[in-house]
Amino acid sequence: MTSWKSSKLTWFITGAASGFGLELTRLALSKGHNVIATSRNPTKVPDLVSEIEGKGGRWLTLDVDDPNGGSIIENSEAEGTNIDILVNNAGWSIHGPVESFPEEEVRRQMETVFFGPYRLIRAVVPYMRQRRRGLVINIGSGAGVGGRESMGVYAASKAAMDGRTRILAREIAPFNVRTLTVQLGGFDTNFTYALRLSSVPFPEDYIGGKTDEVANSLLGSNYKADGDHRKATKVIYDVAMGDGVGTGKENERVLPLGGDMCRLMDTVAEQIQHQMETFRDIGSNVYIDR
């Protein structure tokens, strides 16, 4: 895909009421792009809606859990608004021991992090494919790469999104449409204030242990991230547009952001290398004898 640095594009951004979604909305507008910002309940952030619409953007209501969520893309395209960049940013996380989550809570987490973005992808990719240009940005998490104790369900939902996107990227590459998975470490957003603990009390054996410690250390003000989400947002924008630090990196599919995320990626790479060194000969000799 050629650089978009001089193009005026239409961005569709979920979870625009705070954090990365809001900052990316502001940045894209400041660069002269069209932006459709969305959130579950715009009436809760009237000042932000006025700010964004005052700068030429649009703010629409979108609950990504809505089974008909993809219709918002269909409606925009039908009105003549061609979406060039979809940003799947909306999300939240639930924590607790893997063994004790009620299935309803697991499904609710998967609905927001996996099925909701998937509906938007299914809606927008056919248009991008037909136009032979487009970009799907998914905001991922270190949890999906190699998460900590208590993150099992959230990690599963993020890993599922990552796995789907890896295949999607290969399928749509021939049509000049690409994906970018942004793997985030800890940043100075209000994400941890939206973190929830499972409704089921932690089994006694976990109390005071690592699972309990990690879950509670991430709650609200207990967690002090050192990542600057404004700096990180500028990197996301540059890689998407092939500008600034993203020059020449337009075709990269995974963007790790945050020192903690980079260290985690290194650790995961080392673990994979260890697995291969340990089992390569064994794993390579399980064929049918001829």
Residue 1: per-residue pLDDT: 52
Residue 260: per-residue pLDDT: 94
Give the predicted TM-score (pTM) of the model.
0.95
| pLDDT classification of 5: cutoffs 50, 70, 90 | confident
Distance between CA atoms of 17 and 127, rounded to whole angstroms?
26
Residue 118 a catalytic site member: no
Which token pair is 110? 């998967």
Catalytic residue among 154, 193, 237, 287: 154
Range with the poorest average pLDDT among 4-8, 46-50, 201-205: 4-8
Residue 290: per-residue pLDDT: 80
Distance between CA atoms of 40 and 17, rounded to whole angstroms?
9
242: left (phi > 0), else alpha (psi -120 to 50), else beta?
A: left
Residue 289: per-residue pLDDT: 87
Distance between CA atoms of 97 and 171, rounded to whole angstroms?
36
Quickly count: other Cβ atoms within 10 Å of residue 163's Cβ.
12
Strand partners, 59: 37
Chain segment 198-250, per-residue pLDDT in tens? 999 999 999 999 999 999 998 877 888 889 999 999 999 999 999 999 999 99
Quickly count: other Cβ atoms within 10 Å of residue 97's Cβ.
20
Q: How high is the mean pLDDT of the chain?
A: 95
Distance between CA atoms of 219 and 113, rounded to whole angstroms?
19
* Stretch 102-109: mean pLDDT: 97
